[in-house]
Amino acid sequence: MNLLKIAAGTFSIISILFMVFPGVSDAVNKYDAPPIIKKLNMPNLEKDPGYLFLMAEESESRGDTNAVMDFFKRAIDLDPTSEYLNIRLATVLARNRKIADALIVVRNATTLSPDSSEAFALLGKIYTVTGDSGRAIDAYSKALELKPGDRDLYVFLGSLQASHKMLKESEKTFNKMIEQFPDEKDGYFYLGKVYIEDEQYDKAIDIFRNLAEKRGESAAQAYLELGGIYLLQKKFTDAEECFRQALSLDSYNLTARLNLGQTLANQKKFAEAYEVFEELSRLAPSNLGIQIKMALILAEQKQFDKARELFDKILQSKPGWDQVRFHLGRVLREQGKPEEAEKEFTQILKGQTSFVNSRIVLTLMFLNMKEPSKALKYVNEAIDSDPRDAEILHIKGSILEELYRYSEAAEIYVKALEIDPRNVKLMYSLGNAYEKGGQRSRSMQTMEAILVEKPDDPSALNFVGYTLALMDRDMDRAENLVRKSLEIKPDDGYIMDSLAWILFKRGKVDDALKLLEKAFVRVKGDPIISEHLGDVLAAKNKNDEAIEAYRRSLTLNPDNLLVKEKLRHLENTVSVPTK
């Protein structure tokens, strides 16, 4: 079809319409003209804090943290007095570890709205994170004052007080929580834990016993807490009963089962304890800690091969676990395999948790084996790792004494006392080292210092009294000191020997003999007691018995030249026939 014809046809139709319907022409003219649109005033959303808040919420749902903070900051610029916006921004900042910024914002919120419990609660949380516990406690206290019906605030405040040993304040907080919510158990639980921390065990027992007897949902947990208290008190039978009660109410409570196993082991019910841990191991097969406990129980039962097998199995899965290797070393030592034990212990490297303990065990092991040089090597490794441990230095001093290096031992004890100046055991060891090294005046000075610090210390009393007698000085004081020591430790054979020697020197030979005979029964392996017994028997002309006592002393200490001379002289006297 010819396009021109079509166009012409179209034109004629329009013309006809115009003629038939004159109004059409006006309509066409009207729509041919540009439309007249009324202008609307649209709001500028960028200036609307509500819009910016919604955009922040939308950004948070997408995980765009930077956009969230940006929108909140812009909203606050527009509405700086908004408590809610400041709190929301501070929360986002804190959540993203911008603690300093969060602190500024939330402190601003508390200034703008001093009656806002939520602002002070958030301030308390932020101060807790920064470690400013004093200000955190103040903030929580203010929040709770503003909103006493908020149970979480009681928990935050009371727990923080308890963690900083403000136990009386924590007790008050949880008592207030109980007053506010008398039908809820949480307050009682928290208060009971505070009593445990404060060692008010009877009060804690009353609380948890009451909760347990109510047989509610919390009864199993209450029995668990009760058992824990009895464990602290070493009341293992009561603890066992509580853990069994907890399990009867909640058979899947792994903590109750674990504590039951430990309680049974504490009572040396090793077979029952092993069964409990074995069941635990089936319930939690990936928990290697349970398998360690099983191995330790086997070791307690002297089943060393089985214990070693289990430790080896654990080390196959975690070869770098130094604590397991430490336990394995101890098992080998107990098994009488010191070389293998040493091999295991020396695989524990410096910096690992068990390094120092492994070296101490090696030190003591070789000290008992009369190999002080090796013991010294390992104690030096321990000191190199932990030079500020006074007890390790004490061990080194005792090894040096075994090697007759008394002046060096004294130097070590002095260094240890610089770390722990009121340690009476260290002071006593220092005094002994001075005495053995021939520094008697220093020795007496040290022992007298102990008596100033601890007037009833039986060892120091005995040492000072006996030393005074050896020097023939102040025999009245010497006797009084040793008698006081014997009153404190009436069955101590060494103190009996000291008093007997003082009595002998004061001419009370019969009394001295009675005491020495008692001392000898209690301490048969001491060469000095045997020597003193020989001296007293010789003074009573019981020469045969005296010779026997001297010989016994030399058996225990063959290098004592003085006793050798006493024995030779007495044997010569006995061999001369009387006229």
Give the integer Cα–Cα distance in Å for 464 and 443: 9
CA 280, 285, 288, 291 dihedral sign is positive
Averaged pLDDT of the chain: 86
Per-residue pLDDT for 213 more than 50?
yes
> What pTM was estimated for this model as a whole?
0.65
Residue 224 contacts by C-beta under 8 Å, 6 or more apart in sequence? 242, 243, 246, 253, 255, 256, 259
Given this model, what pLDDT does residue 119 score?
84
Give the integer Cα–Cα distance in Å for 367 and 372: 5
Better pLDDT: 78 or 454: 454
Mean pLDDT for 258-275 is 94
Mean pLDDT for 269-283 is 92
Given this model, what pLDDT does residue 93 score?
72
pLDDT in tens, 366-395: 999 999 999 999 999 999 999 999 999 999
Residue 469 contacts by C-beta under 8 Å, 6 or more apart in sequence? 475, 478, 479, 482, 498, 501, 502, 505
Count of C-beta atoms within a 10 Å radius of residue 50: 11
Better pLDDT: 93 or 499: 499
Given this model, what pLDDT does residue 3 score?
32
Tokens of 175: 């008592």
Per-residue pLDDT for 23 more than 60?
no
pLDDT in tens, 415-424: 999 999 989 9
Tokens of 492: 């101590």
Share above pLDDT 90 across residues of the chain, in percent, rounded to a whole number: 66
pLDDT in tens, 294-319: 999 999 999 999 999 999 999 998 98
Give the integer Cα–Cα distance in Å for 209 and 219: 9
pLDDT in tens, 129-143: 888 989 999 999 999
Better pLDDT: 507 or 9: 507
pLDDT in tens, 31-59: 454 555 454 444 445 555 666 667 666 76
| pLDDT level of residue 65 (50, 70, 90 thresholds) | low
Residues 136, 128 contacting (CB under 8 angstroms)? yes
Per-residue pLDDT for 67 more than 60?
yes
Residue 128's identity, in one-letter code, is T
Per-residue pLDDT for 579 more than 90?
no
Better pLDDT: 96 or 38: 96
Given this model, what pLDDT does residue 47 score?
59
Helix axes 390-402, 406-419, angle to 10 degrees: 170
Mean pLDDT for 343-347 is 96
Q: What angle do CA 412, 436, 457 make, to 5 degrees?
A: 80
Share above pLDDT 70 across residues of the chain, in percent, rounded to a whole number: 86
Given this model, what pLDDT does residue 44 score?
47
pLDDT in tens, 478-530: 999 999 999 999 999 999 999 999 999 999 999 999 999 999 999 888 899 99
Given this model, what pLDDT does residue 70 score?
72
Per-residue pLDDT for 344 more than 90?
yes
The full length of the chain comes to 579
CA proximity to 256, closest of 280, 292, 289: 280
